[in-house]
């Protein structure tokens, strides 16, 4: 193809309206400077009450400003990507690269096998030549129920794949498809096939669920498949040899075809070896084992990594990703394509703010402009060579057609035996795996760290957020689950920041400064807890003694405060509405912002500091998995689920009560004061306190008014009332 005929496989557009944004950001910055001038010139004298409270507030504001400036790095120049799949198909349909899909599951009780196989089936049904597609499941739970489910899925796929391709259905996860499609369909042929396949699916689901529930695999099946014999050697999920079963393999197994005699994708089950004396490195260890095993079996040059609870909602995502990886001119430097994390079962107003809307719609395009989004461990397409440690060089070139023809010739049995060694505990000893190769070890958010290391080797990544989302996962359905999830994320992120992999140090000279700063947006989530806690507690406690921490209402200094608040929140609301949110959803997001910062981030922060100081991990009793039938119902009705006692709820309840008491006290003071002196002096403080009360309305409901099981546990009600009262007595003296 001549140079002049070159048509790009994807294009990049820069967001418009940057001038307006610049004006906004600069004006807020001027407002903030005015606030600082006020703080510095009006510091209470040493003899006056409230000097310390004042200085603390000042520090909190300095932190907020710093963090706000950091978040500007991902808002400055968002870019948006568009693909041309038809051009890709025209040029490459005959020489499409092999793609290896890696899925990890860890525990069949938390991640039900039926959910895992739905994910797998949606991936097997990608709109892609099946002999170029391989799906690998790593089961760290070493569960024969998961294996059994996968066997069942391989049978079902013989019907499911031809059906989904023939009628081009979407989404291709059977469970999502059947729950969304309402019968009858317009096309009678399709309606009939659909209903017979639905019966097949229901039967399979029942068999899998029954086996899991009874804790027993049907004897018949167990005899038929030699794979189950492997479990004779399993003493526990922490102590067993490698189990590797090639369930379907293209080209060698005559049974690996669907009902229309078309080939099926390769399907492999792996439970890597586990021994108590060897550290298994969690998901990173599992992915590295999969990387090695897949390199032996199919060795696809493109790797897709998906969590087992995220099904593919778009059968063309794979082709989208290839447009980014295979463009002749622009792809050389691209290491991976990250799709944002989206969720399937969000409620209308998203009570727990799980949609991550702002991150995927605003911050991802912003990061993309600065050097590429973070690798978040799911919904991500990698070039294999990059994941395995290659450095970027100017003459970087992957010959896709060549990479296609690595064929292994042994029998399936020999193949299984040779691959087992690759997944053994000792294989990684004295190798670069976990350091320079594969996923990195030693951090709870290994994926982010791995992405950073890849970018520091000279590569960049791209973010792709199509209208029809590529992958949909399950959002947490209770408050505690949400808070605990955020604790885990923010704790891991802070650990990276405080380690030698801190982007500001590790990335120096390797990635641009703005990219380093963009990373800090996330890595510094946790330290936000201190300033936020201070802001929601101290000003309201100061109201009782009439200590004013903000300018008087009659003073012109009040203007910068009001401007900064209005501009900041006005912008935030606008951003939310523009990204397709609702007002209520924004309000819920603000609430979760306070909740996360005062609990998840606080625990993450203290845990990290304690660990750093050499203390063992402080034992917070965290996840109490609430398994209740009403839980889902309340979730759908958007009623906040408090449920099980936890120190996190204690904090939330105490803060909300302390503010309620202050607010009531303040109202009394205002009413009794006929000359409006109190109002003049304390207006902003009372307003702040009132906002905290308003945002906490669901907490008061949960504390005092609700009768259902999801209300605040009684022990928390007592404890938090006592603490709030004591805090007030102390504040009064």
Ligand X SMILES: *[C@@H]1O[C@H](CO)[C@@H](O)[C@H](O)[C@H]1NC(C)=O
Give the footprint of ligand X on this chain (CB under 6 A): 170-171, 313, 342, 345, 347, 468-469, 474, 477, 632, 635-636
Q: Residue 210 or 636: which CB sits closer to ligand X? A: 636
* 672: number of Cβ within 10 Å: 8
Q: Residue 417 or 636: which CB sits closer to ligand X? A: 636
- CA–CA separation, 645 vs 633, rounded Å? 20
In degrees and rounded to multiples of 5, residue 512 shows phi and psi of: -60, 155
- CA–CA separation, 120 vs 248, rounded Å? 13
CB 605 within 8 A of CB 58: no
- CA–CA separation, 487 vs 484, rounded Å? 5
Q: Please report how close the Cβ of residue 354 comes to ligand X at its closest, in angstroms.
A: 10
**CA–centroid distance for 374 within its chain:** 11
Q: Please report how close the Cβ of residue 487 comes to ligand X at its closest, in angstroms.
A: 20
283 is in an annotated binding site: yes
Q: Is 268 helix (H, G, I), strand (E, B) or coil?
A: strand
Q: Residue 173 or 659: which CB sits closer to ligand X? A: 173
Q: Residue 109 or 632: which CB sits closer to ligand X? A: 632
Residue 538 tokens read as: 């101290």
In degrees and rounded to multiples of 5, residue 30 shows phi and psi of: -65, -40
Q: Please report how close the Cβ of residue 469 comes to ligand X at its closest, in angstroms.
A: 4
Burial class of 106 by CB neighbour count within 10 A (0 to 12, 13 to 18, 19+) = middle
Q: Residue 291 or 321: which CB sits closer to ligand X? A: 321
- Sign for the CA dihedral angle at 507, 510, 513, 518 comes to negative
Residue 162 tokens read as: 């031809």
Q: Which candidate in 139, 140, 309, 344 is catalytic? A: 140
Q: Residue 506 or 635: which CB sits closer to ligand X? A: 635
Q: Count of alpha carbons within 13 Å of 644, Cβ hemisphere only? A: 16
In degrees and rounded to multiples of 5, residue 380 shows phi and psi of: -130, 130
Element (H, E) at 157: helix 144-166
Q: Residue 319 or 469: which CB sits closer to ligand X? A: 469
Strand 471-473 vs strand 311-312: parallel, antiparallel, or unpaired? antiparallel
Q: Please report how close the Cβ of residue 614 comes to ligand X at its closest, in angstroms.
A: 39
- Helix, strand counts (H, E) of the chain: 28, 13
Q: Which candidate in 100, 250, 320, 447 is catalytic? A: 447
Q: CA triplet 105, 174, 478: central angle to 5 degrees?
A: 55
Q: Residue 477 or 495: which CB sits closer to ligand X? A: 477
Q: Which residue is nearest to ligand X (CB)?
A: 345
Q: What burial letters (b/e) apply to 458-485, b meaning 16+ CB within 10 Å?
A: bbbbbbbbbeebbbbbbbbbbbbbbbbb
Q: Strands (DSSP E) along 464-582, which ranges?
A: 471-473
Has 140 been annotated as catalytic?
yes
- CA–CA separation, 362 vs 664, rounded Å? 39
Q: Is 317 helix (H, G, I), strand (E, B) or coil?
A: helix
111 is in an annotated binding site: yes
Specify binding-site residues for Mn(2+). 283, 307
Q: Which residues are part of the catalytic machinery?
A: 140, 447
Residues in binding site for UDP-alpha-D-glucose: 111, 140
- Binding site members: 111, 140, 283, 307
């Amino acid at each position: 193809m001549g140079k002049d005929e070159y048509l790009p496989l994807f294009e990049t557009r820069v967001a418009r309206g940057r001038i307006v944004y610049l004006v906004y950001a600069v004006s807020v910055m001027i407002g903030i400077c005015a606030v600082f001038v006020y703080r510095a010139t009006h510091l209470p004298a040493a003899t006056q009450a409230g000097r310390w409270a004042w200085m603390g507030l000042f520090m909190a504001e300095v932190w907020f400003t710093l963090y706000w400036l950091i978040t500007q790095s991902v808002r400055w120049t968002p870019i948006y990507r568009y693909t041309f799949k038809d051009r890709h198909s025209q040029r490459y349909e005959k020489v499409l690269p092999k793609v290896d899909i890696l899925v990890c599951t860890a525990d069949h009780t938390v991640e039900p096998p039926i959910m895992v196989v739905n994910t797998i089936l949606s991936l097997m049904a990608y709109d892609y030549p099946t002999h170029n597609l391989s799906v690998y499941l790593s089961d760290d739970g070493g569960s024969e129920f998961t294996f059994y489910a996968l066997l069942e899925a391989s049978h079902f796929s013989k019907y499911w794949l031809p059906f989904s391709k023939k009628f081009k259905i979407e989404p291709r996860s059977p469970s999502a498809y059947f729950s969304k499609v309402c019968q009858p369909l317009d096309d009678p042929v399709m309606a009939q096939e659909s209903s017979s396949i639905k019966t097949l699916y229901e039967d399979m689901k029942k068999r899998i669920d029954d086996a899991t529930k009874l804790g027993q695999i049907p004897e018949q099946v167990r005899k038929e498949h030699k794979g189950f014999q492997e479990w004779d050697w399993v003493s526990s999920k922490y102590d067993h040899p490698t189990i590797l079963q090639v369930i379907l393999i293209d080209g060698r197994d005559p049974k690996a075809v669907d009902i229309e005699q078309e080939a099926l994708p390769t399907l492999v089950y792996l439970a890597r070896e586990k021994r108590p004396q060897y550290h298994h490195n969690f998901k990173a260890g599992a992915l590295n084992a999969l990387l090695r095993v897949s390199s032996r079996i199919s060795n696809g040059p493109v790797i897709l990594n998906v969590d087992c609870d995220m099904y593919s909602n778009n059968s063309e995502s794979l082709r989208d990703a290839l447009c980014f990886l295979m463009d002749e001119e622009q792809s050389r430097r691209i290491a991976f394509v990250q799709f944002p994390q989206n969720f399937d079962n969000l409620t209308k107003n998203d009570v727990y703010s799980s949609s991550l809307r702002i991150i995927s719609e605003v911050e991802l395009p912003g990061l993309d402009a600065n050097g590429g989004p973070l690798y978040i461990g799911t919904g991500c397409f990698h070039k294999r060579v990059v994941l395995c440690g290659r450095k970027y060089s100017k003459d970087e070139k992957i010959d896709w057609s060549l990479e296609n023809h690595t064929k292994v010739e042994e029998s399936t049995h020999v193949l299984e035996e040779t691959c087992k060694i690759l997944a053994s505990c000792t294989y990684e000893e004295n190798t670069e795996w976990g350091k320079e190769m594969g996923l990195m070890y030693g951090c709870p958010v290994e994926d982010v760290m791995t992405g950073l290391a890849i970018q520091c080797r000279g590569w960049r990544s791209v973010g792709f957020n199509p209208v029809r989302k590529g992958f949909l996962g399950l959002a947490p359905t209770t408050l505690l689950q949400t808070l605990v999830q955020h604790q885990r994320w923010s704790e891991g992120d802070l650990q990276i920041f405080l380690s030698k992999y801190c982007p500001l140090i590790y990335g120096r000279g390797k990635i641009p400064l703005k990219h380093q700063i963009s990373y800090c947006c996330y890595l510094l989530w946790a330290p936000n807890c201190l300033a936020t806690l201070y802001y929601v507690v101290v000003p309201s406690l100061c109201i009782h003694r009439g200590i004013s921490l903000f300018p008087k209402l009659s003073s012109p200094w009040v203007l910068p405060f009001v401007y900064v608040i209005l501009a900041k929140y006005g912008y935030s609301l606008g951003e939310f509405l523009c990204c397709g949110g609702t007002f209520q959803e924004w309000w819920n997001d603000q609430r979760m912002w306070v909740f996360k910062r005062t609990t998840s981030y606080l625990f993450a922060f203290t845990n990290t500091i304690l660990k750093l100081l050499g203390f063992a991990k402080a034992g917070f009793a965290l996840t109490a998995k609430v398994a209740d039938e009403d839980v889902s119902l309340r979730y759908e009705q958007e009623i906040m689920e408090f449920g099980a006692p936890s120190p996190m709820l204690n904090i939330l309840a105490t803060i909300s009560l302390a503010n309620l008491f202050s607010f009531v006290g303040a109202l009394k003071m205002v009413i009794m004061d006929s000359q409006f002196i109190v109002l003049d002096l304390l207006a902003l403080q009372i307003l702040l306190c009132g906002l905290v009360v308003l945002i906490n309305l669901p907490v008061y409901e949960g504390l005092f008014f609700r009768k259902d099981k999801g209300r605040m546990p009684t022990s928390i009600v007592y404890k938090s009332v006592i603490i709030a009262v004591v805090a007030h007595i102390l504040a009064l003296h």
